[in-house]
Chain A
Amino acid sequence: MLMNLFKFKGGVKPPTNKTQSLGLSIAQAPLPSKLVVPLHQSIGGTPRPVVQAGDKVLKGQLIGEADGWISAAVHAPTSGTVLEVAMHVQPHPSGLDAMCVVIEPDGKDEWIARQPVDYQALTPEQVREGLQQAGVVGLGGAVFPTHGKLTASKTVPMDELVINGAECEPFITCDDLLMRERAEEVVRGIGVFRDLLQPKKVLIGIEDNKPEAAAAMRAAVDALGEPFLVVQVPTLYPAGGAKQLIRVLTGKEVPASKRSTDLGVQCFNVATAYTAWRAIAHGEPVVSRLVTVTGNVGEPRNYEVLIGTPMGELLQLAQPQPDTDGIVMGGPMMGFLVPDAKVPVVKATNCLIAHSERLFPPKAPEMPCIRCGACAQACPHELQPFEMYWFSRAKNFGKTQEYHIFDCIECGCCSFVCPSRIPLVQYFRFAKSEIWARERDKNAAEGAKARFEFKQLRDEREKAEKAEKLAKAAAAQAAKKAAEAAAAAAAEASPTAPDSAAAATQVQASAATVEATATPAVDAEKEAKKAAIAAAMARAKAQREAVQPKNTEQLSAVQQREQAEIEARRQAAHLTDPAQAEPAAPASEKTD
């Protein structure tokens, strides 16, 4: 089973520090005092909470409903009572709060009714939806919802399915232990992905510093009779990066701003395959994960930890040394110091490292860049970190984008090799988030402009429509008046010619009186107006009276009787209403 492996450029070999936590098998972490489960644990939409304070929940019960397709559900990690749905500090470098469901365990750890499904009897859509409902996300660290990656491209045939068991970052051993102890379920999970994506080949990449894991996986693959290839790849950080592993195993280089699916390759972490299988074959949503607890502790070990366990409590299990002064989530290359020991373990937490100055001596101060180019040689994405550094530092963000800053995976190789100890990745993160913020502002401004212009257009249109309506009404009025005048003239002219003659003389006479005295004429006009108003009111009254409720006609005797009863009741109720309402209100409060 020798296969031709490829290489990616760059990479570094930091001390692996993995043996410390490999000595002991996976242990189940005990129930913590309180579980703080953040709702937003995956890329995409924030799940909506479906429980509230005081609710009793069972282990595996849905507490956050997926919002949109790229979003994954969140479940209660154990049975207990919901204490609150509130903002709590997050395992995020910002140290800011986000919405969490806080659960007090009742100690019974009682599952909901778990329903294993035979995924082969379901359509691929149903399997994908099931994985979304089970909250299966990429456990390699990026936490992208897995179901979103399980749709084969329609245009590009799926060539290779790459399963990532490389685990290249120092200190972390949770995937290693998972493959050693639970290889069969991992392989079955890979089988599900294979059936959904129908690739030509399945490649499982494991770094060659984990021979036991590779042997266990090979044995499981053989035992299940699957045609998967377990490939040992050279140990070189960051071989576990998705694009790097794809490069090593298939020789395909994923171009900038393209995804691996465009080349017919898809990549999943081994732990993701494991949780997918647990969700399908056991009906268990993702409520726990393996976490390596290592660093400045007495007993480094891998624990199966409930999501939401406070990191401080988990660290206590491994007996941290007294000089521990912080917790790093993730590895030493890409991890960050968590803002508080209270922050919970989330789906993205693969490792906790107890931090101490002895283990991670503080970095000497930054020196000027000497343009040695070591960072460019180490960069696994063949970028030019020193150029990006200049422009990030000068806040010339357009230029950083010309040097493809968004292809940077923040692996930290450049900072690792820099002889001037420049925190290059920090500069790139700063530049990236500034560019994103600007992009957001720009989109918001464009949207505001479009809406403003539309509003102006609408106002103009409404004005024009109103003017048109008024013009039409005026024209109709004028036409009506003209018609009336014509009718009156005709009526006066034809049947009673002598009368009209008399009227004419009268008009002449009245005209004469108008000329003589103006005031009586004004009075007459007022009288005429009053009469017209009175006539209009009479007409309106008649119209109102003419309109009758339609469903009250032709009532049967029974219906009439019913109505009379209702009327009587209504009147009685109306009379006694205040008296009844007052004693009723306090009574309802008491029942609360």
Chain B
Amino acid sequence: MDILLAIAIMALGAVVLGAALGFASIKFKVEGDPLVEKIEAILPQTQCGQCGFPGCKPYAEAIAKGDVDINLCPPGGMEGVAKLADLLGREVKPLDAEEKPKQIAIIDENTCIGCTLCIQACPVDAIVGAAKQMHTIITPLCTGCELCLPPCPVECIRMEAITENIDNWKWKYPVVEIKAAPLQKAA
């Protein structure tokens, strides 16, 4: 008799808890993968495709699945790799490309023929212009992805590194200068 009662209590408990879990899984369902969002927040959003994926989100999804390495994003640099390693608990690996300084595209407006090819190539809508009209880069919106370079038929787009100016200048890390002591002559 006792054993039956015990079984009944356990079965009842299982049913109640199972129902609660089932309800919670519907009620508190998480849309999308939160890990992908976290990874995407670390990626620099240049949408350059240098990782081999068509944009930052596909790369973030691939990282979340564990298919690819975390060191494929040159614009993110070593700092980005370190952050991803920290988030995902993976090894820090050296960047799989050369780390370049941040740069922006510049259109030589005298050479531009107004073909609109670069406008179509720009992933972040940072080029303005119309057919047979001069095009130009909206400098603050350019991510420096270089995707506009190959389609240009007259090669009038070049990349320039962003130089330091008063607005983006940063205070340097305080470094204590140690003065070299005068060399003592050997007796």
Contacts and interface: CB of A to CB of B under 8 A. Distances in A.
B124 A452 contact: yes
Given A445-B44, A452-B45, A437 B178 contact: no
Interface in B122-141: 123-126, 140-141
Interface in B150-171: 164-166, 168-171
Contacts of A423: 174
Interface in A433-454: 433-434, 436-437, 440-441, 444-449, 451-452, 454
Interface string B16-58: 0000000000000000000000001001111100000001100
B174 A426 contact: yes
A94 interface: yes
Contacts of B123: 452, 455
A96 B47 CA distance: 32
B171 A429 contact: yes
Which of A432, A433, A436: most chain B CB closer than 10 A? A433
A449 B45 contact: yes
A426 B171 contact: yes
Q: How large is the interface on A (under 10, 10 to 19, 20 to 34, 35 or more residues)?
A: 20 to 34
A497 interface: no
Nearest to B142: A448
Contacts of B44: 441, 445
Contact of A430 (B43, B125, B174): B174
B4 to A, nearest CB: 58
B116 to A, nearest CB: 14
B100 interface: no
B171 A454 contact: no
A452 B45 CA distance: 9
Contact of A433 (B140, B143, B171, B174): B171
Given A365-B178, A430-B173, 16 more contacts: A96-B164, A96-B165, A96-B166, A365-B176, A426-B171, A430-B170, A434-B170, A444-B140, A444-B143, A447-B141, A448-B47, A448-B124, A449-B40, A449-B56, A455-B124, A455-B125
B168 A448 contact: no
B185 interface: no
Contacts of A446: 45
Contact of A90 (B140, B164, B166, B168): B166
B176 A448 contact: no
A403 interface: no
Best-buried of A98, A427, A440, A452 by chain B (most CB within 10 Å): A452
Contacts of B168: 437, 440
B172 interface: yes
A96 B46 CA distance: 28
Contacts of B46: 448
Interface string A126-147: 0000000000000000000000
Given A90-B166, A366-B176, A444-B143, A451 B171 contact: no
Interface string A403-439: 0000000000000000000010011011011101100
A14 B169 CA distance: 31
Contacts, number: 70
Contacts of B169: 92, 94, 96, 433
The residue in B55, B126, B176 that gathers the most chain A C-beta atoms within 10 A of its C-beta is B176
Interface of A: 40, 90, 92-94, 96, 98, 365-366, 423, 426-427, 429-430, 432-434, 436-437, 440-441, 444-449, 451-452, 454-455
B45 A445 contact: yes
Contacts of B56: 449, 452
Chain A CB count within 10 A is highest, among B45, B143, B168, B169, for B45
B147 to A, nearest CB: 11
A433 B55 CA distance: 30
Nearest to B75: A445
A327 to B, nearest CB: 19
Contacts of A426: 171, 174
B106 to A, nearest CB: 17
B161 to A, nearest CB: 15
A446 B166 CA distance: 24
A553 B165 CA distance: 63
B166 A430 contact: no
Q: Which 4 A-B pairs have the closest CB atoms?
A: A445-B45, A433-B170, A429-B171, A94-B169
Given A429-B171, A430-B173, A446-B45, A452 B166 contact: no
A103 B108 CA distance: 32
B170 A452 contact: no
